[in-house]
A = this chain, B = another copy of it.
Amino acid sequence: MRAIVVERGESQPRVVDVERPSAGENEVLVRTLRVGIDGTDHEVVGGSHGGYPEGADYQILGHEAVGVVEEATGTDLEAGQLVVPTVRRPPDGQSNEYFDRGEPDMAPAGAYVERGIDGAHGYMAEYFTSAPEFLVPVPDELAETGFLVEPISNAEKALDLADASRSTFEWSPESAFVLGNGPLGLLTLALIEQRDVDRTYGLGRRDRPDPTVDIIERFGATYVDSRETPVDEVPDVHEPMDLVFEATGYAKHAYETIDALAPNGVGALLGIPEPLAFEIDGGRLHRDFVLENKALVGSVNSHVPHFEAATETLLACPDWFTEALITDVYDPGDVEAAFEDGDDRIKTVVEFDAP
């Protein structure tokens, strides 16, 4: 079967022919429909994040997938059922306390592998296998968009952590600010738009006309161009923010978020930055953080409950949004083009089989 892989020593993905996997005991064989590409995939290809499966000289890419159960192998799933796979798995097939209690997203390094990212093959292949507990059933109407459940699930988890951090007092955010107009930023904005938040803002650094700015504004959110209004000046130019999501992975934004927050506000950090040293007004930021009861939560990965919440969120997204978001659909044979970047594309997906 065809699979999109990165090989050791290479820095470009390519299509290879690999053996179709067989479902072992208590494993399900899934026929892949679509697999999304995100920034992490580019990092894996470039070698700055993740790692190869033990002993393998290539890694099958892809962690945002939707597929159809081909062989249910006696599990509770049924052939023909649409499913979305989660990302983390126990290392060496051994479970551990984090997986036992359904919280692999809280496992520390060494207690998990990540399919398509770190130490395990991903989903960019015509078929993949998985234990059934890592496959989340989704309705048939998500056959084309279901690969978005995984990135939305990361925002769901971050929002859960942010909400929990404010749960000791009455807190209903009236203003929310998403840093980043990439797919994760736009999906996070779509999630927040489904909450009762009065005013929303989206940060980018693009000139109009731009398809991401169009999406931000079609949601009724205010587009903030960081070239004109740095994050820490947003309270003066617009308003202090009750909730900030950092989805760019630009290191300075984490600290500017403290300034952007309203009293009692919370910043959820999802983007993963590269190392970068810089000077900050550390005392003043720390002082404001304390005197105004602010909070920051870091959030990585997600698990089944977040995938289930993300499925509901995706079902409630307007059609115009997913149509505008998914700009490019490629056959696996066009892998080179699929991994190119461009200002006119937002979300690219590789289609292994038509829904």
Contact = CB atoms under 8 A, between A and B. Distances in A.
Contacts of A297: 165, 293-295
A275 B279 contact: no
A269 B290 contact: yes
A20 interface: no
B290 A270 contact: yes
Contact of A283 (B161, B169, B251, B270): B251
A277 interface: yes
Interface in A126-177: 160-161, 164-170
A330 interface: no
A220 to B, nearest CB: 26
As for how many copies of this chain the complex holds, the number is 2
A296 interface: yes
B269 A275 contact: no
A298 interface: yes
Given A103-B169, A280-B278, A291 B286 contact: no
Contact of A298 (B105, B108, B295, B299): B295
Nearest to A97: B170
A271 B298 contact: no
A280 B277 contact: yes
Taking residues whose C-beta sits less than 8 angstroms from the other chain, chain A's interface range is 35 or more
A274 interface: yes
Nearest to A281: B277
A248 to B, nearest CB: 11
Contact of A272 (B270, B271, B287): B287
B287 A274 contact: yes
A106 interface: yes
Interface in A96-139: 101, 103, 105-106, 108-109
A282 B252 contact: yes
A263 interface: yes
A275 B283 contact: yes
Interface in A217-265: 251-252, 254-255, 262-264
Contacts of A278: 279-280, 282
A280 B280 CA distance: 7
A145 B279 CA distance: 44
B298 A289 contact: yes
Contacts of A165: 161, 164-165, 295, 297
B264 A106 contact: yes
Contact of A292 (B254, B295, B298): B298
24 contacts: A108-B263, A108-B264, A160-B168, A164-B166, A165-B165, A165-B295, A165-B297, A167-B167, A251-B282, A251-B286, A251-B287, A273-B290, A275-B284, A275-B287, A277-B282, A278-B280, A280-B282, A291-B298, A293-B297, A293-B300, A294-B297, A295-B295, A295-B297, A295-B298
